Amino acid sequence: MPAPRYRSRTLRRVHVRTPGGTSKIQYRKRNPKVAKCSKCEAKLKGVPRGRPYKMMQMAKTKKRPERPYGGILCSKCLKKLMIDRARKEK
């Protein structure tokens, strides 16, 4: 039976093979949720999920697509937005 603080599933379990050959359970914090488009809530591609310390290690260009509203809107919603803007100008 694990210790009381490890009985809930707030921490994820990782099986790790030790140098001695036995496998052991490590308790690690869970990753944040997948980034979603703020308009249609579709999962965003090209946006990694990781704890803040992992995100800090990455370059800015690795954390989001290189386009306007990259990492906030999905490409489809961006296209709609752009077209709407263009047609309003007319």
Binding-site ranges for other proteins (CB under 8 A) = 66-68, 75, 78-79, 82-83, 85-87, 89-90
> Considering beta carbons, is residue 54 or 67 the nearer one to other proteins?
67
Q: What is the DSSP string of 36-89?
A: B-TTT-PBPTT-----HHHHHHS-HHHHS-SSTTBTTB-HHHHHHHHHHHHHHH
> Considering beta carbons, is residue 41 or 66 the nearer one to other proteins?
66
DSSP state of 5: G
Q: How far is the CB of 68 from other proteins (least distance, A)?
A: 5
Strand partners, 27: 13
Q: How far is the CB of 87 from other proteins (least distance, A)?
A: 8
Q: How far is the CB of 61 from other proteins (least distance, A)?
A: 11
> Considering beta carbons, is residue 29 or 66 the nearer one to other proteins?
66
> Considering beta carbons, is residue 16 or 40 the nearer one to other proteins?
40
Residue 82 vs residues 47, 48, 55, 71: alpha-carbon distances, Å: 21, 25, 29, 16
